[in-house]
Structure 1
Amino acid sequence: MRSLLRLTAVFIALVAATPVLAQEDAPQSEDWVLTSVPEQKAVIAMIDFTSGLTIAARCVDGVYDVLIAGLPDAPNRALSRELGIQAGDQKEPFTSVWTVGTRRNAVFSRIPAVVARDLAKGGKLQVIVPATSRSPRTRYVMELNPSSTAIEQTLTACGRPMVDPREVRSDEIEGNGQDGLPSGVSWQTGPRPTFPDSVNGRIPAEGYVVLSCVVDALGGLNECQTESEQPAGYNLGRSVERSLPRARVKLTEEAAATGRPLAGRMIRFSVIFKMEP
């Protein structure tokens, strides 16, 4: 019960951990703590590091998240920030976009299932925070036990596979949760989602949805899946997915010059919602 109360407090407060700089000594291996909270339809895998970071992967009522807390505070008014994650046998860190939480030292991944699969590799884990005008580049070095069981259970609870078959089949994968499309493609016909109906009398003034799709030879978007949406609970992802059958993308001039085809690419992209005043 003490562990459950602690986990609950962590997610209510978004973990007010103290940020520290990189730890370069040989760290001890640490493992995930898996907790199920049936009354909240939640499965949570969480780990606290001596570096001051807390990382959690969770499925809560069908919504999948990966969050990191205890980072150096994000710049004032910044709504997002980039982080590099390098795990297991990865040769280079994968840099992706994260949404800043209510507390400035916490972030939520915009492509959480992608990040969770990397975290599941175990072994040496590095979290890299790029430098800003107010703080230097920070690198956290930690060691994870090579066990993917806890992460796999969080993914399974939200219907996400440990291996995305679309990635296996795709010739090229582009996008890291950035605003809009990845650099290799542009809209020929953009999606036109509508704001969904209000929920309990409330509707957000703005939000975003991050999706991943496989592109066909005509620029159509297939096998699309919502990776994340903020704010949750308003069916923003469903609204965008309904608008995608008419959407089309095309290669940018730079991408076309490489000779690589449009078909067979998997792209991750964001659609922004903003209510006009």
Structure 2
Amino acid sequence: MPRFRALVCLPLLIAQPASAQEAVADWDLIRDDRQKMVMAYTVFDVGLGITFRCLDGGFDAVIGGLPEAGNRDQRPLSLAFGDDPIPHAHLWNVAVDETMAVSPLPAPLARKMREGGRLQLRVPDGAGEGRTLRYDLELPASSSAIDATLTACGRPLVDPRDAELEGLDEQGLPGGILWVRRPQPEWPSARRQYAKGFANVTCLTSPDGVLRDCVIETEHPRDGGFGDEVLSSVRRARVGPAEGEGPLPIRRMYFQVSFVMDGYSNAEDRERRRRSREAERREREAARQGD
């Protein structure tokens, strides 16, 4: 079995506002039965494009046309809808094409974006180090195209639990909850082997700390087996209260597990390992204080 590391993650320059596209009934839709693909997309005159895709059961959301991410596996993006305040940036995964970013939670994003309306997007360091690039876009509403991608992947068209994700911290944990035992997946035994990959998963907490009703929100590469391996390891994972004792509330949470074969690393991998070790150190200290 190959050795690897599994890591559970975690001045303003303004672009010209994007003009609203001409009124359209829906997003563009492509179906390819041979590839088992359904894809909805829309493009803007500032060069950005947004795509939702169901490919052979895997669901993805991608923003393309961004400034190149450089030698990084993840990049921070902030999205706000309507006149909502800009939230803290969340980490998106960088695709092979470094101008494309992959959402960690594609289905909730699809259900939100199909409403259309104003979208504010900020790209930290997008205009150079220390300078944030801002886009102000007008999303066309989608009456059926985005729904077609969700349906093709068996994702619900309405999920009231989406609201619970808005209050999660950068680690994907609800307030007052921390890891007691993190998922410890093995390297997947998929037919095709990759040097690295990731899987993003949402779960519901239980009063006893067990995670249940877990769903693979997105994974890459799609045929690497990373998502299934994370789901298998979740059975042994546990969460607990950050302070004191007692049962946990039933809340939705999400996390990402990144797989990296030993010997393969770049600057972003090393920084993510540092953050992961720091998070684990804080959790150990919190657990000792609670004893």
Alignment of 1:194-213 (within 5 A): 194-199=186-191, 202-213=192-203
Which position in structure 2 is the counterpart of 1:228?
218
Q: Does 1:41 align with 2:36?
A: yes
CA-CA distance at 1:48 after TM superposition: 1.2
Aligned to 2:178: 186
Q: 1:27 aligns with which of 13, 20, 26?
A: 20
Instruction: State the distance in 2 between where 1:64 and 1:151 align.
Output: 11
| Structure 1 residue 123 displacement after superposition | 1.1
Report the AA paired with residue 105 of structure 2.
Answer: I
Q: Tell me: CA distance 1:29–1:124, structure 2 relative to 1, closer, same or farther (3 Å).
A: farther
Q: 1:46 offset after TM fit, Å?
A: 1.0
Whole-angstrom CA distance in 2 between matches of 1:59 and 1:143: 24
Is the Cα–Cα contact under 8 Å of residues 18 and 46 in structure 2 kept in the other structure?
no
CA contact (8 A) 2:167 2:174 kept: no
Q: 2:240 & 2:118 partners in 1: Cα distance?
A: 39
Structure 1 residue 145: Cα displacement: 2.6
Q: Which of 253, 261, 265 lines up with 2:251 in the alignment?
A: 265
Q: Residues of 1 paired with 2:178 and 2:48: CA distance?
A: 37
**Residues 95-114 of structure 1: matches in 2 within 5 Å?**
95-114=89-108
- Change in Cα spacing, 1:272 to 1:28, as seen in structure 2 (3 Å) is closer
- Decide whether the 8 Å contact of 1:175 with 1:268 is kept in 2: no
Residue 151 (structure 1) shift: 0.9
Map of 2:260 onto structure 1 = 274
Gaps in structure 1 of 5+ consecutive residues = 1-19
2:73 to 72, 76, 79: 79
Letter in 2 for 1:40: Q
- 2:51 corresponding residue in structure 1: 56
1:128-153 residue CA offsets vs partner (Å, 9 max, x unmatched): 21236526211111212333421111
Measure how far apart 1:90 and its partner are. Answer: 6.2
Equivalent residues of 1:55, 1:66 under 8 A apart: yes
Change over 3 Å in CA distance of 1:40–1:262 after alignment to 2: same
Q: Select which of 123, 146, 149 maps to 1:129.
A: 123
The one-letter amino acid paired with 1:186 is L
Change (3 A) 1:182 1:29: farther
Code of the residue aligned with 1:106 in structure 2: it is M
CA distance in 1, matches of 2:176, 2:95: 29
Amino acid at match of 1:274: V
Q: Note closer, same or farther for the CA distance 1:212–1:35 as it changes in structure 2 (3 Å cut).
A: same
The sequence identity of aligned pairs, in percent, is 38
- Relative contact order (C-alpha < 8 Å, sep 6+): which is higher? 2
- Given that 2:27 and 2:141 are in contact with CA atoms closer than 8 Å, whether structure 1 keeps it comes out as no
Compute the RMSD of aligned alpha carbons: 2.9
Shift of 1:188: 1.2
Question: Any idea what SS the aligned residue of 2:188 has?
Answer: coil
